[in-house]
Amino acid sequence: MKVLVNMWMTLKNLIRYNLKIIFVNRFIWFLLAAMIFYIFIVFMRVWNNNIPDEAFVYNALIFPGILLLFFPTVFGIQTDKDARVLEILFGIPDYRYKVWLVRLIMIFLIVFVFVLILAGLSSFGLIRLNVFEMAGQLMLPLFFFGSMAFMISTLVKSGYGTAVILIILGLFILTLAEPLESSMWNVFLNPFQIPNDLNEIVWQNITFKNRIFLVSSILIFTLYGLFNLQRREGFMN
């Protein structure tokens, strides 16, 4: 019983600390920017008399989700360093892994709830859709970018440096989206948008392989980022 109480107290302290890190003033601005971006895309679609479909909702939600992930994953290490929290984290064996695992889980849960709400609004006001399926499909590319941002931040150790690298990589991946439109390697692959030259069975196979690729990349990015946290000297300089 005492062990369970200690584990609960540790988890509660981790959650409280990470909420302070995530919900800083700049996070609110990213939240507002994500909402405005989504509203603008939907407004332009309706203004041009284009009937929204599931593929449109998927594309309309992915970039607001990335915006919401941007600050906490990119500037997390920088925030810890500026607040001189890294010295404490590296002073307790393996504690930094628990902090960052909990933080990543919390960030992804917050983004999932945000995407779920917007998907629900889209289902209510635009087109009937499976809200949980839409949110679940969206979270894989969002996890991809979030875990990649975390990994890069453990290498660069600077929020602004990580932001620059991530923006460049994001633009590069975006430019490959059209040439790789029907490929399993397309990070921005839209599972609800079946190309005209493919039948549904082939498309489902490509989508399945794409999701395996994303999950594998997420695991590699996350584990490598956690591995980089072992290099205490690089973070303390």
| Predicted confidence (pLDDT) per residue in 198-227, tens digit | 788 888 898 899 999 999 999 999 988 888
Look at 81 and 127; give whichever has higher pLDDT: 127
Residue 101: both structure tokens together: 């695992």
CA torsion angle 166 178 142 171 (round to 10): 10
169-183 pLDDT, tens digit each: 888 888 888 787 778
Helix spans in the chain (H): 2-22, 25-47, 54-74, 76-82, 86-91, 95-125, 131-156, 159-175, 200-228, 232-236
69 and 143 Cβ atoms separated by less than 8 Å = no
Radius of gyration of the chain (CA): 19
Counting the structural domains of the chain, the total is: 1
Distances (CA, A) of 235 to 22, 82, 96, 105, 165: 20, 11, 12, 22, 19
Domain limits at 83?
2-236
- Cα separation of 134 and 152, whole Å? 28
Q: Which amino acid is at 177?
A: A
42-49 mean pLDDT: 78
Planar angle of CA 57, 62, 66, nearest 5 degrees:
155
Q: Which residue has the higher pLDDT, 76 or 107?
A: 107
